[in-house]
Structure 1
Amino acid sequence: MKYACRTLLIFLWEFYGIMKKFALIVAGGNGTRMGAPISKQYLPIGRRPVLMHTLEKFHNTDPMIDLTLVIPEGDFVFWGKLCEEHAFSVPHHLVSGGRSRFQSVKNGLNSISDSQGIVAIHDGVRPFVSREVILESFLEAEKKGSAITVIPLKDSIRKLTDDGKSVFKERQYYRLVQTPQTFDLSKIKKAFEVQELAQFTDDATVYEHQGWQVHLISGNLENIKITTPEDLEYADFLIGKKSN
């Protein structure tokens, strides 16, 4: 039933179209947990840098999505050389990242001159987001103002208390948050006009700070965030699996 619903969403997308679509691919990490000489977003999976797979996923979903890549300004030349080396031709704009993810997203949003549209904000090191999730996020954000991808927890969870004890929690009331987090462009731009706060752990919390309720949609389990060497090995496995 869920698959049939997403097939219908794809039909509606392709037949009717929606507002102008943007995607910010944010990749400002330095890869310290990866222990690699270069940032994790430039490490290869399937013989190409992670970022290329991510940008390609959005472009292949809909070539009309206006793509912006937010990376450290000091990486611009390096990224250009990687694109030449791999003959990477997906159209995208480069924007300089900030000192935090909040600042990087804000820079990306400020680079969009349009005031109306739908924008997906996505981690550059999540190259396995599905086409169906991308499509649904744009459609739901147009209807509801936001679309935040989440997946259910599979394991039991416990909350640690200040006195060193732990308390069991019902996992059905919790969700793991992924990206893309997709929004009405004018509303998310307004949300990012505020000063950065410690509670802003993602774009949804910035949006919520305005008093707006976020709308959740189902993500896909393969949409992992590549952070550790183990994640990179699993990513290589997924690339090989898709190739076969």
Structure 2
Amino acid sequence: MNKAAILVAGGKGSRMGGPVSKQYLPIGGKPVLMHTLEKFHEADPDIFLMLVLPEYDFPLWKRLCEEYKFSLAHQVIAGGNSRFQSVKNGLNALPFKDGLVAIHDGVRPFVKKEVIIESFAQADKSGSAIAVVDLKDSIRKFDENGVSTFQERQYFRLVQTPQTFQIAKIKKAFQVDELPQFTDDATVYENQGWIVSLIFGNAENIKITTPDDLDYADFLLSKEK
């Protein structure tokens, strides 16, 4: 069974407030993206790893790999003007047509190995596997007039990545024009009329976006030692 992982890292990191995009900032002594690539390699050393970056960041990434002596095999391809286009570029660049592909946010370096393994197993059975976690807080829904109503949180889940699919199906799903409701890969898949399968993610699998997230990331890494 061919397996691939597309790590999408096309963001400019504007919410981080610095000159360097979040995916290249160091945590635990090396850039965020290197931790994420290693997590997928640890889950299965045979996974084909692909990193989707803005093309103008290619020289920076090459310098970082040399600086940190990062030699884990992976392919780097250029992203698009949106996450949808970046994922589509990654799918089109896969070296095989059949098998499974996990699509993951490059700035989620704390996904557990067990979640990655389960995502491939579930996608092999049902066509898809979307990592989700339970809500801990109460939630309210606002209408167009600003009136809020209580919602039963047991009927909702927070969506993470990886989102793993059978390659043939997800490539077909991405052969459409981009729509505003495509907030993740699961919504693109559902647009075909297919039902997504959910798996349990892990609460530590945060998306590093703000300086506070970097502090929390260093804390999580300290717990792994």
Give the distance between the partners of 2:41 and 2:62, measured in 1 at CA. 18
Distance (Å, rounded) in 2 between the aligned partners of 1:22 and 1:81: 25
2:82 corresponds to: 100
Cα pair 2:2 2:96 within 8 Å, conserved:
no
Aligned residue in 1 for 2:14? 32
Structure 1 residue runs of 4 or more that deviate by more than 4 Å after TM superposition: none
1:161 corresponds to: 143
CA distance in 1 between counterparts of 2:146 and 2:46 reads 52
| Contact in 1 for aligned 2:127/2:166 (Cα 8 Å) | yes
TM-score, normalised via structure 1 length: 0.91
Tell me the TM-score normalized by structure 2: 0.99
Q: Percent identity?
A: 68
Alpha-carbon separation, structure 2, partners of 1:106 and 1:181:
14
State the Cα distance separating 1:203 from its structure 2 match.
Answer: 0.1
State the shift of 1:47 in Å.
1.3
How far is the alpha carbon of 1:36 from its aligned partner?
Answer: 1.4
Q: Aligned runs of 1:1-244 on 2, under 5 Å?
A: 19-243=1-225
1:233 Cα deviation from its structure 2 partner: 0.6
SS in 1 for 2:10: coil
Q: Deviations over 1:177-201 (max 9, x none)?
A: 0000000000000000100000100
Task: Give the CA deviation at 1:113.
Answer: 3.3
Aligned partner letter, 1:73: E
Deviation at 1:215, TM superposition (A): 0.3
Cα distance in 1, alignment partners of residues 223 and 170 from structure 2: 37
Between Structure 1 and Structure 2, how many residues are aligned?
225
Q: Which amino acid aligns with 1:27?
A: A
SS in 2 for 1:186: helix
Q: CA deviation at 1:60?
A: 1.3
Task: Give the deviation of 1:53 after TM superposition.
Answer: 0.2
Unmatched 5+ stretches in structure 2 = none
SS in 2 for 1:33: helix
CA distances 1:5-45 after superposition (whole Å, capped 9, x unpaired): xxxxxxxxxxxxxx110000000000000101100000010
